[in-house]
Amino acid sequence: MIKHDYHVLGLMSGTSADGLDMALCRFFKEDYHWHYEIVDVRYQPYDDEWHHQLLEAMHLDNKALKTLSRSFATWMARQVNAFVADTGVIPRLVASHGHTVFHQPSKGITVQIGDGQTLAKLTGLTTVCNFREADVVNGGQGAPLVPVGDQLLFSQYEACLNIGGIANISYSVDNLRIAYDVCPANQVLNFLSERAGKPFDEGGRLAATGKLIPELLEKLNDLEYYHQPYPKSLGREWVLERILPLVNAYDAKVEDLLHTYCEHMALQIGRAAGRFDQGRMLVTGGGAFNTHFVTRLQHYSPLEVVIPEDHLISFKEAIIFGFLGLRRLLNKTNVWSSVTGGKTNLSSGDIFEA
């Protein structure tokens, strides 16, 4: 009898570099369909030093970056060991997204740190990591990868939207999954919130009190990326080069800048969902807690905006990377060329045994 029941620990560090998401799930197959059950989740915030190191990692030379990658894996291993000990459930494997330092697929570059061999050795658990590189080598964007999980675990929704450091959307067209990065999201909102002495705009309260800056909104919407066809993806480098100079050019109140950027996000995502006349869109990621943004999104989106329970909002990406790691271990497709633009579908990721 073939076993279709696995406990997997998924790890996710997003582009905002705020902390590590850990989701221990049971994945099982019934009636030819995969399902998941959350056993436990944990969020481990980065201290100021790790936050700074991860954001500045792009400036390191190759040797220093490898050293940081091993140090980061050592830190992650400590979090994994404590989490696993507390749950009392030994996972079949750890699936680690790592932390993205570079993502420039047009140049054949994508780098996620968090050394897999170190993580496997220090946890004693089989580890799958480096999910994106093979697809980039294969001519793809290497992103987004979550749509495989969207299709196989959340097919009851017409579209799935994740609002993390970058907002990405996925949906099916003629039985093919389509997905792409829509626009920068929390990276920009958090950058602006820090001007007001806050790490993020809780509930979108600051944005809600601001006023629209029409000229800035127009300039943001005119950026070339928004007029390019998919497949396409964004990295932090693009935000630094294209978004922040536009925002920084305005001597305006933080509230007004936040309000305008939320409007930009909602408008761009509304356009992305515009192919639908009706249906539901599952919204997860930190942006789902931004009440002001969600209200504006519902204004622009033809799809009903569905905000799930908190665990799914915060840990959906960690859950799905756990699932992608499991599919890699089973040698099943976990990257779709219809999503990334790669030459072929792949079972991607490096496997390290303890």
Residues 328 and 303 in one domain: no
- If we measure between CA atoms, which residue out of 192, 3, 8 comes closest to residue 97? 8
Angle between helices 48-56 and 62-87 (to 10 degrees): 140
- Total domains in the fold of the chain: 2
Q: What is the percent of the chain with per-residue pLDDT over 90, rounded to a whole number?
A: 92
pLDDT in tens, 266-309: 999 999 999 999 999 999 999 999 999 999 999 999 999 999 99
Handedness of CA 354, 350, 336, 111 (dihedral sign): positive
User: Which pLDDT score is estimated for 2?
Assistant: 59
- 32, 38, 39, 42: CA torsion to nearest 10: 150
> Is residue 193 located within the same domain as residue 222?
yes
The reply to whether 213 and 343 lie within a common domain is: no
Same domain (yes/no): 245, 134: no
pLDDT in tens, 224-244: 999 999 889 898 899 999 999
What is the pTM (predicted TM-score) of this model? 0.90
Query: Do both 170 and 131 map to the same domain?
Result: no
Residues 165 and 288 in one domain: yes
Place of tokens 């658990």: 125
Neighbours of 61 (CB within 10 A): 7
Is 179 exposed, middle or buried (CB count within 10 Å of its CB: 0-12, 13-18, 19+)? buried
Residue 82 belongs to domain with CATH number: 3.30.420.40
